[in-house]
Structures are given as structure tokens and as C-alpha cells.
Amino acid sequence: MPPVFPMLTVLSMFYYMCLRRRARTATRGEMNSRRAIESNTRALPINVEIVQYAKEVLDFSSHYGSENSMSYTMWNLAGIPNVYPSSGDFTQTAVFRTYGTWWDHCPSARLPFKRTPTTFCSQDYVELAFEEPVYPTAVHILETYHPGAVVRILACSANPYSQNPPAEVRWEVLWSEAPTKVNGPQARQFTPSIKQINFPTNLIRLEVNSSLLDYYTELDAVVLHGVKERPVLSLKASMIDMNDIDEDEDEEKYGCGMDTLNKQFSIVALREWPSNGYFDKLPYEVRKSCLHLIRLS
């Protein structure tokens, strides 16, 4: 009878090689889901900073790639980086549809919106969902080609994975700046100084303006840093300088003119009104802009 041990040894080696190959060829989605499951099973202290990549791309205004492909599409912003810290034109990145000003000069260009605030300069956007709602402490944007298009970062109070949607959805600006020209197309990690907000979030919105770019900007990944417990504001930030209080502002605040009474009445009416229909479902900044335009008209 021939020995069985050599055959068992060969089968064991073949099984081991198959396991290694499967581990090497695991997709990014499988790795992210496995990492998410492991993170959910661990109980972290609430004051420990959580670092997480975007789990999912929820919405966007445009992308260069087609709907049937992963090349140059916004879907590439989900998960760990594919290209960074390398620089160059890579199909595994997220690319918006336009750059420069040539798009605005085309016959098919969109007409500008009327009554747009002068400070609003966004042209495109992408909304990213993360696994854990946190109080943001930092946002890292990995730009791999022609950086400098991001002009605004916002956080949403609604949790896209919650079964009970909130009655009011609020968007808060974490950082905003006018478009700037960046010298060189090299990759960089863009980490602007963001402000603290009073609600946890796992929905981040990036708004871009590519009018000053010489070519398409390419984004590889977005990293959200945050804590589970609301950070305590510093004493210096919470103190009020008595020299900043102006008597004219007090008179305007407590005056008895018709403009002041109308303003106070509108504020009280908005607070006491039980429901404004679909108007209440609009983002906080949109409602604020609408009320401002109504007062100007």
C-alpha cells in the first residue's frame, strides 16, 4: 500500500497557497467591510479620536467617467486611497466634469442663478458617508493631481444610516475659502483648519471650484477625524470682550422702529409656527438665504 503522508502534505500545501492567494486578491470592499465589523465589536473610549475613510458616496453633481465604469468616477472616493502619495493622471481617482472657464463659454453653458450670494462660489459637490458619527476634529483630503479646487467643507446633522430621520436637517460649514491658484500639479494632503460644531456627523460634503485650474483636479480619498464626545471649547474662545459691545448695536437690537418690530415679529412667527411644509426640510443655510432675500425684496 503506497504511503498516504506525501499526498496529505501536497494537499496541505495547495490549501495554504489558495488561502494566501485569496487574501492577496481580496477586494477593497471586502477589506473595508471586515474593518467595519471589527471596529463595531471593539468598545473605544469616547474621548479617543476616531480616524475613518469614507464608506460610501451618496450624491454628487458630476464626474468625468461614465456610469458603467469605475474610471474617473466619484465612486473612487470611497475606501482607502488607491494612488496617494503618487502624483499624476490616474483612472482610479475621482474627477469632476469640468475645469477652467471654457465650460462657461460654451453655447450649452448653464445660465447663472439669480440672487446668488456673492460669497457662494461652488461649482460641483460630492457627499460622503462615514461609518461612525463623530464631532469632527480634522478633515484630510488626498489630492493627487492639480490640487486646490476644494472651496468648502460642510457637515450634516442627519445620519444616512439611521432608521429614524430627524425632523430638522442642518448643514454646518466647517471650512470655506475663495478659490486659490496652487503652483504645480503635485499631490498633497489638504487639511484646512475646521471649526467645531455642536452635533456629531457622519455625512460630509465637499464643494469645489475648478475655474482657476489648468487641468482636471483628481481626488483619491477623504479621511475624517473626530471624537464621540463633544469637545469642550477653550476658555479663550468662549470669553466675550466687553470692548466689542457697541451701544449702537444695543439701540438697534432693542429699538422701537418699524424695521426692528418687523424683524422681531418674523423671528417669533418662525419659532411659533408648527410646520412650514417642505420648507423645513431644506438645508439650514438655504432657508437662511431665502429669508434674507425675502427681507431684501
- What would the mean pLDDT of 234-247 be, rounded to a whole number? 45
Asked whether the beta carbons of 130 and 52 are under 8 A apart, the reply is yes
Q: What is the pLDDT of residue 270?
A: 44
Q: List pLDDT tens digits, range 166-209.
A: 888 999 999 999 998 899 999 999 999 999 999 999 999 999 99
Question: In total, how many domains does the chain have?
Answer: 1
- What would the mean pLDDT of 96-116 be, rounded to a whole number? 79
Q: What is the pLDDT of residue 281?
A: 60
Nearest-angstrom CA–CA distance, 24 and 16: 13
pLDDT at 2 over 70: no
| Domain limits for position 205 | 49-110+117-227
Q: What is the pLDDT of residue 11?
A: 53
pLDDT at 3 over 80: no
88 belongs to a structural domain: yes
Top pLDDT among 66 and 219 is at 219
263 belongs to a structural domain: no
Q: What is the pLDDT of residue 45?
A: 62
156 belongs to a structural domain: yes
Nearest-angstrom CA–CA distance, 85 and 82: 9
Q: What is the pLDDT of residue 263?
A: 53
- Bridge partner list, 219: 94, 143
Q: Of 38-47, 244-253, 285-294, which range is least confident?
A: 244-253
- What would the mean pLDDT of 235-245 be, rounded to a whole number? 44
Nearest-angstrom CA–CA distance, 54 and 220: 11
pLDDT at 254 over 70: no
Q: Phi and psi (nearest 5°) for 175?
A: -160, 145
288 belongs to a structural domain: no
Burial level of 158, CB count in 10 A (0-12/13-18/19+)? Answer: middle
Q: List pLDDT tens digits, range 118-171.
A: 777 888 999 999 999 999 999 999 999 999 999 999 999 999 999 988 888 999
CATH number at residue 180: 2.60.120.260
- What would the mean pLDDT of 89-113 be, rounded to a whole number? 85
22 belongs to a structural domain: no
Write out the DSSP string of the chain: ---SHHHHHHHHHHHHHHHHHHHHT--HHHHHHHHHHHHHHS---TTSPEEEE--EEEEES--SS-TT--TT-GGGGSSS-SSTT--S--TTSEE-S--SSGGGGSTTPPPPPTT--TT----EEEEEEEEEEEEEEEEEEEEEES---EEEEEEESS-TT-SS--SS--EEEEEE----PPSS---EEE---PPP-SS-EEEEEEEE--TT-SS--EEEEEEEEEESSPPPPPHHHH---GGG--HHHHHHHH--SHHHHHHHHHHHHHHH-S--GGGGGS-HHHHHHHHHHHHH-
- What would the mean pLDDT of 213-233 be, rounded to a whole number? 92
181 belongs to a structural domain: yes
Q: What is the pLDDT of residue 56?
A: 96
83 belongs to a structural domain: yes
28 belongs to a structural domain: no
Whole-model pTM: value is 0.65
Q: List pLDDT tens digits, range 4-61.
A: 445 545 555 554 455 444 433 334 444 444 344 344 445 556 678 999 999 999 999 9
